[in-house]
Amino acid sequence: MTLVMGVVNVTPDSFSDGGRYASHEAAVAHGRALRLDGADLLDIGGESTRPGATRVTADEEQARIVPVIETLAAEGATISVDTMNAATAVAAVAAGARVVNDVSGGLADPDMMSAVAATEADVVLQHWRGHSADMYRTAVYDDIVGEVVGELGERVAAARAAGIPDHRIVVDPGFGFGKTPEQNWQVVRGLAQLVTSGHRVLIGTSRKRMLVVAASGAGIELTGEDRFDLATAVTSVLAAQAGVWAVRVHDVAATRLALAVRTAWEGEG
């Protein structure tokens, strides 16, 4: 069964006195709604990794997400924390997170691997070649599948060296990170190689530009969240087909429905 990770972004939309409280309440409510939709995990993040996004301090990041993690973990949710900061990862695990999702694969913060090793949390190591401002400058490959798999192997080796056992390691090819939309589709062809590498694989295609490229290939203009989420749900089925462990999505309900139809199609066994 492919697991569904629902995305909860905690980004205050206001700096007024009510801003923090309002964003906390909104994030908790969103997390609850995603669980009702059938999310197996909630990925909680306080810093946008989108191209061109400005970075927030670790203190600000923790102020945003730790209370949200505490509330949702206390309600029984399995929480993943989307952070590149070791200090935030430690604070999030103390608040109840069971997975550290580091889009930099431990590269952004030299303390990340040892910090995770000292906890019992799982770690998602994503393929990454630099902060979002540099995103496309680093998107140069001779053999993209070989390089992504190879660079992920180096991150796995670093995790092991820090004392994180294999069963706690998840790998992610990092769609959209240091890759153009077209290159993301090339990486898709290498998913089988990643799945057979022995670690659990997570992928995130949700609402990404690669879906726009796929649609335009058929003369379809991808506009509106609903259509993005339909396209995302299709990728979730194909990911399940490829043996991926979990998919990170915004629209949990659409992916759950798509996966249910696939299960009916395939049969339970």
Q: Among 155, 248, 256, 262, which one carries the catalytic annotation? A: 248
Whether 248 is a known active-site residue: answer: yes
* C-alpha closest to that of 82 among 61, 67, 63, 96: 61
**Residue found by looking up tokens 């949200």 in the block:** 68
If the CB atoms of residues 52 and 219 are measured against ligand PMM, the closer one turns out to be 52
Structure tokens at 63: 């102020």
Angstrom distance (rounded) from CA 9 to CA 53: 14
Write down the least CB distance from residue 152 to ligand PMM, Å: 12
- Which residues bind to ligand PMM, rule: CB under 6 A? 7, 48-50, 82, 101, 103, 124, 126, 172, 174-175, 202, 204, 207, 248
Pairing status of strand 3-9 against strand 169-172: unpaired
If the CB atoms of residues 90 and 202 are measured against ligand PMM, the closer one turns out to be 202
Q: Return the ∠ at Cα 226 (arms to 221 and 232), rounded to 5°.
A: 80
Whether 137 is a known active-site residue: answer: no
If the CB atoms of residues 227 and 263 are measured against ligand PMM, the closer one turns out to be 227
**Residue closest to ligand PMM, measured at CB:** 204
Write down the least CB distance from residue 125 to ligand PMM, Å: 9
* C-alpha closest to that of 164 among 125, 198, 116, 201: 116
Write down the least CB distance from residue 21 to ligand PMM, Å: 23
Write down the least CB distance from residue 29 to ligand PMM, Å: 18
Q: Among 64, 129, 208, 256, which one carries the catalytic annotation? A: 208
Angstrom distance (rounded) from CA 151 to CA 172: 11
If the CB atoms of residues 155 and 248 are measured against ligand PMM, the closer one turns out to be 248
Angstrom distance (rounded) from CA 67 to CA 252: 23
Angstrom distance (rounded) from CA 47 to CA 62: 10
- Catalytic positions, written as ranges: 208, 248
